[in-house]
Amino acid sequence: MTQSGPGHTSSGPPGACAEHAASIVSLASQTAAPGQQRLVVISVSPQSQASLAVRFQLNPTDTARKLTAFFKRIGAHYVFDTAFSRNFSLLESQREFVRRFRGQAGSQQALPVLTSACPGWICYAEKTHGRALLPHISTARSPQQVMGALVKDFFAQQQHLTPDKIYHVAVMPCHDKKLEASRPDFFSQEHQTRDVDCVITTGEVLKLLEEEGVSLSALEPAALDSLYVVTHGSGGQDACPVSGCPHLGAAQGTLFRGATVLPLLCHGFLLAGPASAPWSVSVPRDS
């Protein structure tokens, strides 16, 4: 697990989250005049999906797809799964540990590395133990905040929008995630926007379903959206980015026979580093 990031304690939850769950959607739908309306993006955590799956006696995959259908029904434009950002968060934590481990001879505080995705624990460590623990806390962002950075930066660029033109809602299992999203660390002074504009809990999603008179089980499933799209090259070649080695097999299964998968092993965090050490895997042609 990765942590929320040390910094100043929050003064409270993001604006809309202090209100009833129904008001979140009305705000997110942005009924403002044309030109002022924002793109509504909802990121759903695996924990929330699992809780709702148990509540409605569905499997996790169907739950995710039915949630997508529900959120789009009430005004969301895109719905993402934060499992993608969890992979990034874990990789960055691993990278930080290796860096500290190799440099431990020059620093008495390099190890151990303490990690947690719980904002409550981070606040406890900051307020109660201060200097004793802070040097050891991992600086990697939590999956929620990694997703916020991806949505407000990478995805915004894909959509040719500035970050403030996207309203990003995260569905999380815990109320403390609201506090994490409101930390000054995750606010862009340049664009006057947060990486995560609002957090709603699993319980608030249930309230929202009840108020809309919707049973999740009865909804027709819809496919989750992807942060990445297939691009078409000038030479007639299609490129489809894939995150994580475990997904390479699945990617090969969806490509036409004889295609080539070209993983790019990057240096640097997330999408920032220059691609290096490429290697290819060919999908066998039918005999």
Tokens of 173: 């299992």
Between CA 72 and CA 64 the distance in angstroms is 12
Residue ranges of E strands in 209-286:
231-232, 238-239, 260-261, 265-266, 275-276, 281-282
User: Can you give the three-state secondary structure of 161-222, one letter per residue?
Assistant: CCHHHEEEEEEECCCHHHHHHCCHHHEECCCCEECCCEEEEHHHHHHHHHHCCCCHHHCCCC
**What residue type is assigned to position 38 of the chain?**
R
Look at residue 56 in the predicted model and tell me its pLDDT: 94
Between CA 71 and CA 25 the distance in angstroms is 9
**What residue type is assigned to position 237 of the chain?**
Q
Look at residue 185 in the predicted model and tell me its pLDDT: 86
Look at residue 276 in the predicted model and tell me its pLDDT: 37
Q: Which residues of the chain have pLDDT under 70?
A: 1-36, 105-109, 228-287
Between CA 6 and CA 123 the distance in angstroms is 8
Q: Are 136 and 113 in contact (CB under 8 A)?
A: yes
Tokens of 94: 């691993």
The neighbour count for residue 261, using CB atoms within 10 Å, is 16
Any idea what the Cα angle at residue 179 is, between residues 193 and 28, rounded to 5°? Answer: 45
Q: What is the pLDDT of residues 199-233, one digit of tens each?
A: 999 999 998 899 889 999 999 999 888 876 544 44
Look at residue 267 in the predicted model and tell me its pLDDT: 43
Look at residue 35 in the predicted model and tell me its pLDDT: 58
Give the strand pairing for 265-266 and 238-239: unpaired
Q: Are 76 and 41 in contact (CB under 8 A)?
A: yes
Tokens of 93: 């934590």
Q: Please, what are the domains in the chain?
A: 1-227 (3.40.50.1780), 231-282 (no CATH)
